[in-house]
Structure 1
Amino acid sequence: MFKNIVALVFAAATASASLYVRDTDSSSASKVAQAMAVIAGNGVSGNFTFVPIPGQAGLEVGINLSGLKQGTQYPFHIHVSLVPANGNCTATGGHLDTYGVKTANGTYNCDKTKPLATCEIGDLAGIAGNLVANANGQATMTFNNPVITFGDNKTTVLGHSIVVHNPDNSRLACGNIVGYVLKDPSSKSESESKSEPKSKSESDSESDTDTQSSGASSVAMSAALALVAAAIAF
């Protein structure tokens, strides 16, 4: 059984890495196939994934975190600004609230049945509930959010960050939300590229390509982890 699970993991990782590349063109939001935020801070690590919901508005949000305290309630939100290079979660600004719901309503009370009227766009926990870790310090969750998108300027998750909070709302861990587009099937394979001499501009861009590959690998790992969970549950 374990060997079968391992085989599934490697198959998922290989397939996912070959399908997606990091989006480097901010004007191509309509082409984004999925997005992910790699979360880190204070011993907490993991990721958030965002994928379209077939036939429905909004995005499906997947969460897989470790390093949390068992039984503790952890709120989580989309924040306005990106996490800087130094990883400072306090630099991400406030919650994404492009419609000014919190200010307009006075006493804030997110009602998940009326998300646009009562919830900040970034209040993911208001719709799904707080994260709660198991005995191993792991927290997983999957839920549909009918409001967030990849393309609309007011509801897009792209260009923003995720912050996981302590129960007292202090900032525990964070990560930037990065979009991924489907890989162009006409693009050359790695082996084909290596067989041709590189121009100076191609050599200069190697570091950027490595970053994109790393992001795609993270997406692949997210898919692999989901398969592991499914296989174990089965």
Structure 2
Amino acid sequence: MTYSLRIADIPVTERPRERLLSLGAKHLATAELIAILLGTGQGKGKLSAVGLGQYILQNLSQNQRDPLEVLRSISPPELMNTPGVGPAKATTILAAIELGKRAFQSRPLDRTIIDSPSVAAAALSHELMWENREIFAILLLDVKHRLLGTQIVSIGTATETLASPREIFKEAIRQGATRLVVGHNHPSGNLEASQPDIDLTRQLLAGAQLLELAVLDHLILGHGGHLSLRQTTTLWDEFPQGD
């Protein structure tokens, strides 16, 4: 595709909007998706909307950065540093990014049954998934694994958070939960469990046995993914939860 060519001069079947309607959004290049948001390029004889979208991605990828990762947290002034991107285009792109985040992070409806790590991760993602600080949160469930609520227990730094078993169980008891899923995020996106993660999980499982509660899982979330310690460790064999 010629990036200085006007969208109107591109064959109809090759235009980004028409390609989205006929093929679906997932089949479009990132520059084409941005072009749809931009609507227009830099003006006559300059970059088309697709070309401008590609130019934005190239600018964001400087210093070997992932352009989509930069785009997730870019500010309006940074975006408007690109020639041809004014307040209208910048706010349209930023609104689309925020809408995408909210759609991805949308919580299950109240009283949803938490019956798998993926459902639990979806319920926790709003609080944890894209945060740049480590946050520890819990899902509070009834005896039938129905979601009663979500509670943030602690907020740490970019590399660590402190979660007290006492505070975790205090919230569960206070809100009448008999089952819980605990979770925290790794801002780096590395989902590997650290030794402190393992140690805390062991403490929680042992404490839950004494309190006649059940810790169903400990999830680590980050950058769109999640890891279940129940599925990847033998801790639940060591400390059965009777769930």
Please classify the TM superposition score into its range, dividing by the shorter chain length. Answer: under 0.3
Q: TM-score, normalised by structure 1?
A: 0.23
| Higher RCO (CA-CA < 8 Å; seq separation 6+) | 1
Q: TM-score, normalised by structure 2?
A: 0.22
Greater C-alpha radius of gyration = 2
Higher strand share: 1
Higher helix share: 2
